[in-house]
Amino acid sequence: MLPEYLKNASKKMKNGLMFVKLVHPCSGEGAIYLFNMCLQQLFEIKVFKEKHHSWFINQSVQSGGLLHFATPMDPLFLLLYYLIKADKVGKFQPIDQVVMDDMFPNCILLLKLPELEKLLQHVTQEKEINGKKYYKYSKEKTLTWLGKKVHQTMAALKTNNVNVSARVQATTAFYSSDQDSSEKEEDYIRYAYGLISDYIPQELSDDLAKY
Amino acid sequence: MDLSELEKDNSGRCRLSSAVPAVCRQEPCVLGIDEAGRGPVLGPMVYAICYCPLSRLADLEGLKVADSKTLSESERERLFAKMEEDGEFVGWALDVLSPNLISTSMLGRVKYNLNSLSHDTAEGLVRFALDQGVNVTQVFADTVGPPEPYEKKLKQRFPGIEVTVKAKADALYPAVSAASICAKVARDQAVKSWRFVEELEELDTEYGSGYPNDPKTKAWLRKHVEPVFGFPQFVRFSWSTAQSLLEKEAEGVLWEDSPSEEQEGLARISSYFGASPRAVPRPPHRFFRERGLEPANML
Amino acid sequence: LLPCEVPANRPAPVGRFFTPAI
């Protein structure tokens, strides 16, 4: 399942859309992404996998009812993964020495992103020497950036009526009015934090929880 | 009999009824219940009631509505037409239960067997007559399953009305025999004019009586079994005749609550004593788990 | 996408038997 506007992307350029294997920023394992070379946009691919589904496709029945969804994803989550990893070196580095990965060589595609420098400003300190930029991971800036992400996610959860209540209840049940709003807010923050944490390393997720 | 209602949608149930003769609102009436098409593996089952004033029972008998089993299809149609003509003292109503309704009731997660479906339908028709103002004082019904509980249930539902449930009621009571004629006429017509929602290619209507032991019916079923879709909805999937044919000729189907062959996720006991504690990756967030979504690590 | 699994890949007269209801 792809957003409609991507349909012609693959027509415009030979390799308009590319499926690439990159790191999953939370688990560190490989995951499939879709790169749109024209708009330089990154999509994560999630697969709907449940037992006992088949397809009717035209005049046939096909087993293995998997459904792959391509959802736009902020590439900064991937850049962040490499910046944190490189932070052990503890000094400023050019970004093309940070984003390197022999497991997932296609990560260099991230360096082609049009607003790469703007993105990096959210999560790094930078220095410029002889016209060349050097970057260093900044936890403070990152936490501020993630805080914004959590609030944006909360807003989206509310508008999409996602059931976030901690108590297990039928998803169709509406909020019992007796639940006071601060508890509700708490549920939303916790839920949004949990979702964002699916895209950042465990250690940063712990810091974010405190933040 | 106007079955156009059924032709529009033959996947559920549909009710047909005559006007209520004025005299049936004034005088005490006897009401007979019977069904047609209970046994066949094809086509609908029809429940019918027929009622008339006690004072006109002799006239009803005069219509020669003898035991409908002894009548031919055309004789039944002629008799039904005659009852319609003499409509000023006879009223009727019937429910056509489609094969799809029968099958889905019997095969549903919560079993709703044929007897319960029958009892409820019969009761619904008596309720319908009462709601239309028919002054019912006596009800006669043919047995569906053991007579006692059925009679008891009808008496509970309709206190103050005399209820008699007996085997061969259609040979004993003219009102039941008349109901049986209505049911049979409706069933015959429904089967004859059955509109197949499935655009079958070489559709043949040589399905015989529809009874499971009828060789023509068996041959028709064998010819029309479809490995993925089973049968046209004209067939009662819940009939053992249909089921055994599906077992032989059709693909299996697995549902999420099918008894799964192996217990998923039971790790081998040795894995719990593995050397390095398995780094249990964090499970995906609840948002994804609840939607069956996980990161794709291969296409 | 069906809520059940037919353990087979084969031709099937979907157009004749299956009317998706929205």
What pLDDT sits at residue B265? 46
Give the bridge partners for B35, in sequence order.
Answer: B47
Given an 8 Å threshold on Cβ–Cβ distance, is A65 in contact with C6? no
Say which residues have a Cβ less than 8 Å from residue A208's Cβ, sequence separation at least 6. A143, A146, A147, A150, A193, A196, A197, A200
Chain C residue numbers with beta carbons less than 8 Å from the beta carbon of B199 are: 15-16
N-terminal to C-terminal alpha carbon distance within chain C: 13
* Residue B68, amino acid: S
Q: Name, of A53-67, A143-157, B243-257, B283-297, the range with top average pLDDT.
A: A143-157
Residue pair B51/B129 in contact (Cβ under 8 Å)? The answer is yes
Q: What is the 3-state composition of chain A as percent helix, strand, coil, each rounded to the nearest 5?
A: 40, 25, 35
Is B269 exposed, middle or buried (CB count within 10 Å of its CB: 0-12, 13-18, 19+)?
Answer: exposed
Chain B residue numbers with beta carbons less than 8 Å from the beta carbon of C17 are: 198, 226, 228-229
Is A134 exposed, middle or buried (CB count within 10 Å of its CB: 0-12, 13-18, 19+)?
Answer: middle
Given an 8 Å threshold on Cβ–Cβ distance, is B296 in contact with A31? yes
User: What is the rounded CA–CA span in Å between residue B151 and residue B145?
Assistant: 11
Distances (CA, A) of B264 to B120, B261, B267, B288, C16: 42, 9, 9, 20, 36
User: What is the rounded CA–CA span in Å between residue A175 and residue A170?
Assistant: 10
- What is the complex's ipTM, to 2 decimals? 0.86
**How far A109 CA lies from chain B's nearest CA (Å)?**
18
Average pLDDT of chain B, as a whole number: 89
Residue pair A27/B285 in contact (Cβ under 8 Å)? The answer is no
**How far C17 CA lies from chain A's nearest CA (Å)?**
10
Chain B residue numbers with beta carbons less than 8 Å from the beta carbon of A21 are: 297
Which two structure tokens, joined as six digits, stand for B298? Answer: 């291969």
What's the pTM? Answer: 0.73
Q: Which of the two residues, A8 and B175, has the higher pLDDT score?
A: B175
User: What is the rounded CA–CA span in Å between residue A96 and residue A110?
Assistant: 10
Q: Which of B197, B251, B255 sits opposite C8 (nearest CB)?
A: B251
| C interface with A, Cβ–Cβ below 8 Å | 1-15, 18
Using the Cβ of A66 and the Cβ atoms of chain C, whether some distance falls under 8 Å is answered with: no
The tens digit of pLDDT for each residue in B16-45 reads 999 999 999 999 999 999 999 999 999 999
Given an 8 Å threshold on Cβ–Cβ distance, is B256 in contact with C17? no
